[in-house]
Structure 1
Amino acid sequence: MRRIAPCLLILSWVLTLFPAAAHAQSTDTVRAVVYEFLRGQSAGTPGQVTIRVTPPAIPPHLPRCDQLEPWLPAGARAWGKVRVGVRCVGQANWALYVPAEVSIVGNYLVSAHALRPGDILGAADVTVRRGEITTMGRQLLTDPAQAVGKQMRFAVGQGQTLRATMMAAPIVVQSGRPVKIIVKGHGFQVANQGVALGNGRAGDAVRVRLSSGKVVSGIATDNGEVHVAP
């Protein structure tokens, strides 16, 4: 009996220094916070989203936190393999990173046939396919509306994945060609003719030389006119 009392005293001292498992941070809680965070970040993404969170390596005596705050490092997004930061806000002061993966099975566009530079895309020029898109890089096109009416910047072969960087809005004003100029003001509109001094797409600033030799600047519109401020 004399030996039991000192042992109980030592055990009490150890439990004071090292709280019970109930007071340690739960791995499941951290995983759940990361999962819900990524689910919110990927909300609205077209396609079927699957989120996998790797069990984090939490030190056994990391203090339990009642308010966890997840975040993504600068430049990261909920796409493919990611590392989500989780910090404790409040009584404890710690942070850790949790590996996760966001897989998205969705639509993407490929060329229906070989395309040449300058081609204006129509609905028959693209084909919709479906697959895991997070491994295909960025700038993917996922809807035909994103491609139809655009102009190819360079050639691509049949079946090639289409990206936004491969195309641009079509040129509506061509250098050296006649162009209609519209000057709009409060209660009036004046039309004139000139010669474009450069190519322009809708929304681009374009310089135009008038028959008098004067050069004016305006904004190209999608119908090929140049609108000049009075």
Structure 2
Amino acid sequence: MIYQDFLVTHGDLRVALLPHRRSRGRKSGKAFSACALALFLFALLPSAVVRAEVEAAGQIDQAIAAHMQQQLAAEAKRQAWQGMRHSLGITLLSSAEQLPACSQALELTVASDDPSPLARQRLQLRCADTPGWTRVALVQASVFVSAVHAARVIERGQTIAAEQVLLQEVNVGRSSRGFYSSLDEVVGQGAKRRIRAGALIAPSLLSAPLLVRRGQQVTIVASQDGISASATGEALGNGREGEVIRVRNLGSQKVIEAQVVEEGVVTSTFR
């Protein structure tokens, strides 16, 4: 166990609160009395002596919390995050115990190379009306937002339906591959690979949905010089919107190249 000695000074009165230590001999009434006397003298000190120390540390925490809240709220708006919450890890590079409470709002300056509120921030805090009242803090925000996850297994090539996804909380700092904040961004897209149930859906896992699949019967729409016609064909490959695939005309058995325009429909021109 680690002990720490505390020394409180008020005018000419100095009271040291020492840790209890185990005696090898008999218990000493004098040792107990000395400790009791120290506690009694500490209780006689004006509460403002202790309160000033607490207020100085509290002012630092409040200034940092307000600054980070503002920065993170702006980032959440920019990124369209939903349901954001955060926690802060604050480390003061020197103790605030000897600082008096500041009579005005602290001045806060960002001294970090990376301005992103998700990166570790180095902040300098200063009380303008008290010379020497300056502290530096390192702050790391842990940010949690709602993100799209797979509600069940999504197979490779499958077009994602609304019932296959849901919103769950994710730690932004641990989601380097990215994520989606809205279900609408994911529904209707295709899965590049198999996605397990409960997995965070990252952009790298998705592609435009397949509108035509190999072996599927499709409608071939052809037009030229104001004349249009349609025929039934068989897709010889998979295709997304705008992609060109090979299609067999089931009437003539001729294989043509056609562009996918919508689900089950391709277009070509007379040749």
Deviation at 1:198, TM superposition (A): 1.3
Q: Which residue of 1 aligns with 2:119?
A: 81
Q: Does 1:217 align with 2:257?
A: yes
Deviation at 1:219, TM superposition (A): 1.4
Relative to structure 1, the CA distance from residue 189 to residue 166 in structure 2 (aligned partners, 3 Å threshold; closer, same or farther) is same
Residue of 143, 157, 180 corresponding to 2:219: 180
Bigger relative contact order, structure 1 or 2 (CA pairs below 8 A, ≥6 apart): 1
Q: 1:226: Cα distance to partner?
A: 0.5
Structure 2 unaligned runs (5+)? 1-71, 87-107, 122-138
What is the 5 A alignment of 1:13-162? 44-47=78-81, 54-55=110-111, 80-81=118-119, 105-162=144-201
Q: 1:126-149: per-residue Cα shift (whole Å, max 9, x none)?
A: 111234324301241221112212
- Whether the aligned pair in 1 keeps the contact of 2:157 and 2:210 (CA below 8 Å) is no
Within 5 Å, give how 1:189-228 maps onto structure 2: 189-210=228-249, 211-228=251-268
SS at match of 1:81: coil
Asked if the contact 2:118/2:142 (under 8 Å) is kept, the reply is yes
Residues 80 and 135 of structure 1 are in contact (CA less than 8 Å); yes or no, is this contact kept in structure 2?
Answer: no
Structure-1-length-normalised TM-score? 0.53
1:118 CA drift (Å): 4.2
For residue 206 of structure 1, report the CA deviation from its aligned partner. 1.2
How far apart are 1:216 and its partner, in Å? 2.3
Would you say the 8 A contact 2:159–2:210 is kept in 1? no
Kindly provide the amino acid, as one letter, of the partner of residue 124 in structure 1: E
Percent identity over the alignment?
A: 21
Deviation at 1:174, TM superposition (A): 2.3
Shift of 1:53: 7.7
How far residue 122 of structure 1 moved from its aligned partner, in angstroms, is: 2.0
TM-score (norm 2): 0.46
Give the letter for the 2:164 counterpart. D
Amino acid of the residue matched to residue 225 of structure 1?
V
Q: Distance in 2 between matches of 1:148 and 1:53?
A: 43
Question: Does the Cα contact within 8 Å between 1:79 and 1:134 map onto a contact in 2?
Answer: no
**Match among 202, 219, 222 for residue 163 of structure 1:** 202
Relative distance call for 1:137 and 1:179 in structure 2 (3 A) is same
Structure 1: 5+ residue runs without aligned partners? Answer: 1-37, 58-71, 84-99
Considering only CA atoms, is the larger Rg found in Structure 1 or Structure 2? 2
- Count of equivalent residues: 162
On the 8 A contact 2:211/2:241 being kept in 1, the answer is: yes
Change (3 A) 1:172 1:79: farther
Deviation at 1:41, TM superposition (A): 8.5
Instruction: Identify the structure with the greater helix proportion.
Output: 2
